[in-house]
Chain A
Amino acid sequence: MTTGEPLIVLDSVNKWFGPLHVLDDVSLSVGRGEVVVVIGPSGSGKSTLCRTINRLEPINSGTITFDGQPLPAEGKALAKLRSEVGMVFQSFNLFAHKTILENVTLGPIKVRKEKPAAARERAMALLDRVGIANQADKFPAQLSGGQQQRAAIARALAMQPKAMLFDEPTSALDPEMVGEVLDVMTSLARDGMTMVVVTHEMGFARHAANRVIFMADGQLVEDAPPTEFFANPRSERAKDFLSKILTH
């Protein structure tokens, strides 16, 4: 799966929220086309890790490199980088005042300066791909959670990103809608998209991930292929975590 130099590299990244050390000397590299699933107990820093990669959370020390370039500071260069990294949030964050179609075309039209007609055509293709083309003219509040999250994935894909970040994409969904979102993510993974996925969906981690990262207390505790991680977790923390979530 992995070819050439890695796409995302974190080197000795530290971040504090006040006295709380949320990222403790985290180093990680994600290759092109690789799907990395980040799991861990809540408060372990996994969401923060995900959000540092497009600098929604600035870091205190260490370096983050994307596609060979260190993350730029605020400004045009950072905006350009963000346009190349798709992000999907736990709470969807679709633009509430715009239709689903407008949500998907906003980035291509305003950031990439694409022609509205061309952007709409591609947006419809993407909405069709995630299975909600018939909802294009509705507003986000009129859709179910699962449909909203699929729209949010289409919005991110419309920027033709080099990588996709998923910050607990199914945690706010009713159980019967989790599957439809995971299906879209699985097909993305199969198509070779580079993905960093923070999730509690162990099924997705097992069948779609190339690597599983286990985090606890801000530290990256384990980094292993899913089969190995789920069969033989090396650390006590990981064993403890898995025993709690897999007994149900």
Chain B
Amino acid sequence: MSVLIDKFDVFAGGFWLTLQICVLAAIGALILGAVVAVLRISPVPPLRAVGTAYVTVFRNMPLTVVMFFAAFGLPALGSNADFLRIPGLDAIFTRLGTDLPYFRFALIALVLYTAAFVCEALRSGVNAVPAGQAEAARSLGLTFGQNLRYVVLPQSWKASVVPLGSVIIAMIKNSALIGFFGVVGDLSATADQLTSAEGYAFVPVAIGISIGYLIMTVPLGALLDRIEKRQAVAR
């Protein structure tokens, strides 16, 4: 077990990289997922079709395939995802600015994939709001956007937060794939480096990595439980 102490800096570096991509991907997926959810519940049929098509594609494709397309398809199309080199943001998340853009490709894949699930979590919340609420808002003359903003979304949030949390926890675990698509040094890639290249025993390394993921996921789960309990009291 000495590897946990001797190579603490390697674990810590892997943890930090995984945390970075997860924070960025969570923000991206929440924004994109919200947009897709609005498309899916919009009163305009073509917009609904776009939203439904998006969810159908990205919810039903394995993440590995999405990552393949991002890491190999985007360069083939001539893009190295430079639009993600957001000034200021790339100073905090330094990997956004590197010339080998695998971090950015992996981020895109995670966002695209997770957004489909975020959309459905948000939509399940919207469906949990009684239809009469939206009807009352419409009959006052509120537009679709106002209806969502002032009546439906503030109430749907309560029903969305727990499934949303599950989606984000799943995303953190899914991020373990990025090491196989060119991102050097994330938490799960640490295992490969320490066991294959440096000859450490596998089990202690795997324990160390598990702890790293649990540090991210367990507090998130506990936070969700608390939010849920508070709602149960308020209800």
Contact = CB atoms under 8 A, between A and B. Distances in A.
B142 A111 contact: yes
Interface stretch (A38-46, A84-92, A187-195, A206-214): A84-92
Contacts of A80: 141
A240 interface: no
B43 interface: yes
Interface in B124-147: 130, 132-133, 135-143, 146
A94 B130 CA distance: 11
A93 B147 CA distance: 14
A89 B132 contact: yes
A110 B137 CA distance: 11
Interface in B149-165: 150-151, 154-155
B132 A106 contact: no
Interface residues of B, number: 18
Nearest to B146: A110
Given A74-B43, A110-B146, A95 B141 contact: no
Interface string A217-231: 000000000000000
B138 to A, nearest CB: 6
A248 interface: no
B140 A97 contact: no
B135 A82 contact: no
A27 B143 CA distance: 29
A160 to B, nearest CB: 11
A56 to B, nearest CB: 6
A87 B150 contact: no
A94 B140 CA distance: 11
A91 B130 CA distance: 11
B141 A97 contact: no
Contacts of B132: 89, 91, 93
Given A74-B43, A79-B142, A110-B146, A89 B155 contact: no
Interface of B: 43, 130, 132-133, 135-143, 146, 150-151, 154-155
Which 5 residue pairs of A and B lie closest in terms of their CB atoms, listed nearest first? Answer: A83-B141, A93-B132, A93-B136, A87-B139, A107-B140
